[in-house]
Structure 1
Amino acid sequence: MRFDLEDTSAPTTSGLPSLRVRSWFIDGVNPEAPRPFSSGLPTSPEDFLTKLPTDTLACWVRGHSGLVGFGRTLRLSATGADRFTRLSAAWRALAGTAEVDDPVQLPGSGLLGFSSLAFADDSRTASVIDVPTFLMGRRDGRVWLTQITYPDQDVSPLRLSDARLSPVRGARLSAGRVTAGKYRRIVGEVSARLRAAADDPADDLLKVVLARDTVVQADADIDLRAVLGRLNRAFPSTWTYAVAGLVGATPELLIGVQDGVVSSRVLAGTYRVQHDPESELDAARKQLGAHKDSQEHRYAIHSLEQSLTPLSSDLRVDSEPHLLALSNVIHLASDARGTLDTRVPAAGSAAAGGVRGGAGDLGPGAGPGTGGAADRPWALEVAAAVHPTAAVGGVPTDQATRVIRESEAADRGRFAGPIGWIDGYGNGQLGIALRCGQLEARDRIRLWAGAGIMPDSDPESELAETWAKMKPMRQALGLE
């Protein structure tokens, strides 16, 4: 059984079903706990991957911990400038009527949805929250299973058995909507525009992030399990994700919310690794300390502070950035952390929108450790406040996004939008959908990557940066 609330025209949820949610630890001796594996718990990531279903798969994993969903009980979707508002209102209402039995009480247990939102207000791609039928989580050495169904739904127990991974065969690249030639041209045009703005007191445009795409066509269906496994092995410090056919590995956490504490990681400024990241740290430090990259990072930090300070009066941001070394690039990185203020519910909350399950009525879905959650912004509402950051949009936001729309003339879809998970207590982790590709057919995927354009940007250098950022997906698809 599946219930899809597709693109509602207003943040009302009268058609939403009630859900029954139950979580169990499956790594202990509880005789009532399900036994989803035919031969015991997997002993390695590869062993686990072979047991995953090949479709209706969603995940958010970092290293050996994270969340993996199977099947889909419910999809919420919305398009337009108010997509965050409508999805958040519906999610609060869904949480308010859910019947939840959650003895696990770990981040990611209980009611949970995987969410991926479009980058632009005018995108034709729907923003979604997918609620899986089954979800498996691993954190702090514990493993649990959650089942999410309708009260009258008869669901067979989850039973996972081996299905061999299939590496991508015959992958080949072709030009996307923003070709390499077009990208060089628009980078040159925008950097010239930025230089002119620097000399014009009436023009405050400082930075624009331009992106481009390529298409990968394979000879057979792309096995997302194999792609995810290669990404996770190659980039264990990033968040590997798959939501609604968007798959990738992002190093950038847009926001995390846990029991009223918000955190974020900002990346801006990129050094392209030539051989080995550890041996190139000094070179990266020298390049990233130069004006272009350090100024770009300052813009990103300033935009984050402006967005989050109204929600967190004690927000703390790293006084100096640090280097984040990945196998293909090295970034300037800064972390932020603060307590979400208790206040009148944020715009888009259930209380503000008048939907059931609003602030003050979390209903059966409320659990220990959620005190005050109804009176604080929930994860999607915090994400709405900070998206798009200067790292993926530009400075100032409205002007930069107009330049992006005019220059790229291509729908980014969910690339560079928030992606991750949200729960029924107001918590969640939403990264920025980077280093990724969107499945357009079972055997075709569109890759995206962008670069921050400044007045002194060189088109060839920025093009090379996008190739470096596409490298993780090209490797995972067997192109390198």
Structure 2
Amino acid sequence: MTAKLPHLRVRTRRIDDPGELLRFTDPLSPTVMLRRGDGVVGRGCVWRASFSGPSRIADARAVWRELVAAAEITDDAQVPGSGLVAFGAFTFSAASGAASVLSVPEFVVGRRGGVAFVTQICLLDEVGRADLDVHLPEVAAVGADASIELGEGVMTRERHRTAVDESLARIAAGEFEKVVIARDAVGQLPARTDRRHLVRRLAAIYPETWTYAVDGLVGASPEMLVRVLGREVAARVLAGTLPRGATDAADAAARAALAASPKNQVEHRYAVESALRSLGALDSHDDLQSGLTASPEPFLLALPNVWHLASDIRGTLPSGASILDLVEALHPTAAVGGTPRGIAIAAIDELEPFDRRRYAGPAGWVSSAGDGEWVIALRGAEIDADGAVTAFAGGGIVASSDADDEWAETGPKLAPIADALRG
């Protein structure tokens, strides 16, 4: 990122509740971070930058700081998501050929804690010293919907079995303790499909997740990588999964089986310990570590399609740190990568026959005030400009894993995006 950074003029004002936020975003490239109908959506683009390689998150953080420092910001709302906001999505792997992006919309419309607001952003040189006439963006007409089926990708069932068996052999040899192996599924949307239909279905069926759409990456993630509101830090760790039962009795049995599963408990413990180490290592004065707490035992999180073992982590943002510092420290978590981190990631690059792109990477938003919400990009897909769809789902491999069980686990994880695409 070497281009000269622009000077931005940013104006936020409170508005009456505008109703559904999703309708204010772009039909072909929606920008969204919503949960239970609240959050932020973006429209248009004033500035965009792409990053790559091992320093992609650090480079984005440095550019964002410069952009904020040069901006002229008036924020009459003063709630999380108001003021200058950028949306971002980073690749899972430093070796990925996909772009990690950070972009600033022309408009941001949001709602938080009963306060609704609109932000308008422009290049300072375009408006001189005159004030912006801040207004809501026009609502685009509802476009065409589509129904498609996802088909098998390059990671066939046999290739998946081979990758899992190789992972188990390496675990037995002491190379690593856990690695996450994913598979892909592919499809093709008509290029002019209004992708807000897809986002709307995900939000309706999975209201307890964070519905995200950034730069063509779309999904409904149950896992908050990290959130900062004020100086309060929160993260949610999910590791350990079983499908929901078809009847009440079968569902109760699945819940009990997950709670009692040694394999899933071990997988979950690796993920929580990894997150605690990553967050604690950020602060040399132990400020964050001293206030860091995790759920004493994992709790069972019910989603419409699966049960998850979950733990919530809370703490305080270290002095001088930003949410992008936390994103960099936490990614990739053991829940989507493995343990030890570096060795597991190298094994994933070797064992998976595709580029994960932004799947299982951080996706979210950051504000000039330092707030932000970044999810792990799960239960979703990359949708290219021409409508090509690539969805991913994975599972954690530990010593007691079984290849057939691991393949079966990916089905319910693909279901949210597959069902939404099916309409």
Is the structural similarity TM-score above 0.5? Answer: yes
Q: Deviations over 1:29-56 (max 9, x none)?
A: xxxxxxxxxxxx33xx4xx545543134
Number of the residue aligned with 1:182: 159
Please state whether the residue corresponding to 2:384 is helix, strand or coil.
strand
Q: Deviations over 1:150-194 (max 9, x none)?
A: 11325895442462253313x133332322321122112212321
Number of the residue aligned with 1:25: 14
| 2:374 alignment partner, one of 430, 436, 440 | 430
| AA matched with 2:14 | F
Please state whether the residue corresponding to 1:446 is helix, strand or coil.
strand
Number of the residue aligned with 1:114: 87
Q: Deviations over 1:334-389 (max 9, x none)?
A: 001111222xxxxxxxxxxxxxxxxxxxxxxxxxxxxxxxxx21111111011111
Distance 1:254-1:277 versus aligned 2 partners, 3 A rule: farther
Q: Deviations over 1:170-219 (max 9, x none)?
A: x133332322321122112212321232xxxxx4x100001111111235
Q: How do 1:118-129 residues align onto structure 2 when only pairs under 5 Å count?
A: 118-129=91-102
Number of the residue aligned with 1:133: 106
Residue 202 of structure 2 corresponds to residue 231 of structure 1: yes
> Which whole-Å CA distance do the structure 2 matches of 1:100 and 1:333 have between them?
38
Number of the residue aligned with 1:97: 70
Please state whether the residue corresponding to 1:143 is helix, strand or coil.
strand
Q: 1:105 offset after TM fit, Å?
A: 0.2
Q: How do 1:160-199 residues align onto structure 2 when only pairs under 5 Å count?
A: 160-161=138-139, 163-169=141-147, 171-197=148-174
> Which whole-Å CA distance do the structure 1 matches of 2:249 and 2:366 have between them?
35
Q: How do 1:237-248 residues align onto structure 2 when only pairs under 5 Å count?
A: 237-248=208-219
Number of the residue aligned with 1:297: 268
Distance 1:56-1:71 versus aligned 2 partners, 3 A rule: farther
| AA matched with 1:389 | T
Q: How do 1:373-412 residues align onto structure 2 when only pairs under 5 Å count?
A: 376-412=320-356
Number of the residue aligned with 2:251: 280
Give aligned pairs, total: 412
Distance 1:217-1:310 versus aligned 2 partners, 3 A rule: same
Uncovered stretches (5+) of structure 2, i.e. residues with no partner: 283-287
Q: Deviations over 1:281-311 (max 9, x none)?
A: 4432323322100000000111011101123
> Which whole-Å CA distance do the structure 2 matches of 1:182 and 1:123 have between them?
21
Distance 1:123-1:286 versus aligned 2 partners, 3 A rule: same
Distance 1:103-1:279 versus aligned 2 partners, 3 A rule: farther
Number of the residue aligned with 2:392: 448
Distance 1:174-1:25 versus aligned 2 partners, 3 A rule: same
> Which whole-Å CA distance do the structure 2 matches of 1:181 and 1:294 have between them?
27
Number of the residue aligned with 1:200: none
Distance 1:277-1:17 versus aligned 2 partners, 3 A rule: farther
Using the TM superposition, name which of 247-256 and 442-451 deviates more: 442-451
| Contact 1:56 1:71 survives alignment (8 Å) | no
Distance 1:89-1:275 versus aligned 2 partners, 3 A rule: same
> Which whole-Å CA distance do the structure 1 matches of 2:279 and 2:24 have between them?
41
Q: 1:392 offset after TM fit, Å?
A: 0.4
| Contact 1:52 1:163 survives alignment (8 Å) | no
> Which whole-Å CA distance do the structure 2 matches of 1:279 and 1:114 have between them?
41
| Contact 1:50 1:165 survives alignment (8 Å) | no
| AA matched with 2:378 | L
Q: 1:464 offset after TM fit, Å?
A: 1.3
| AA matched with 1:24 | R
| Contact 1:271 1:288 survives alignment (8 Å) | no
Please state whether the residue corresponding to 1:296 is helix, strand or coil.
helix
> Which whole-Å CA distance do the structure 1 matches of 2:408 and 2:98 have between them?
28
Number of the residue aligned with 2:294: 317
Number of the residue aligned with 1:255: 226
| AA matched with 1:322 | F
> Over aligned residue pairs, what C-alpha RMSD do you find?
1.9
Residue 406 of structure 2 corresponds to residue 462 of structure 1: yes
Please state whether the residue corresponding to 2:333 is helix, strand or coil.
coil
Number of the residue aligned with 1:80: 53
Residue 182 of structure 2 corresponds to residue 211 of structure 1: yes
| Contact 1:278 1:325 survives alignment (8 Å) | no
Number of the residue aligned with 1:268: 239
| Contact 1:277 1:329 survives alignment (8 Å) | no
> Which whole-Å CA distance do the structure 1 matches of 2:111 and 2:164 have between them?
43
| AA matched with 1:23 | T
Distance 1:341-1:23 versus aligned 2 partners, 3 A rule: same
TM-score by length of 1: 0.82
| AA matched with 2:158 | G
> Which whole-Å CA distance do the structure 2 matches of 1:150 and 1:401 have between them?
40
Uncovered stretches (5+) of structure 1, i.e. residues with no partner: 1-6, 29-40, 198-202, 343-375
Using the TM superposition, name which of 220-229 and 429-438 deviates more: 220-229
Distance 1:84-1:322 versus aligned 2 partners, 3 A rule: same
Q: 1:458 offset after TM fit, Å?
A: 1.4
> Which whole-Å CA distance do the structure 2 matches of 1:277 and 1:438 have between them?
34
Distance 1:444-1:298 versus aligned 2 partners, 3 A rule: same
| AA matched with 1:297 | H
Q: Deviations over 1:373-422 (max 9, x none)?
A: xxx21111111011111000000001101111110032100110011110
TM-score by length of 2: 0.93
| AA matched with 1:164 | V
Distance 1:262-1:470 versus aligned 2 partners, 3 A rule: same
| AA matched with 1:78 | F
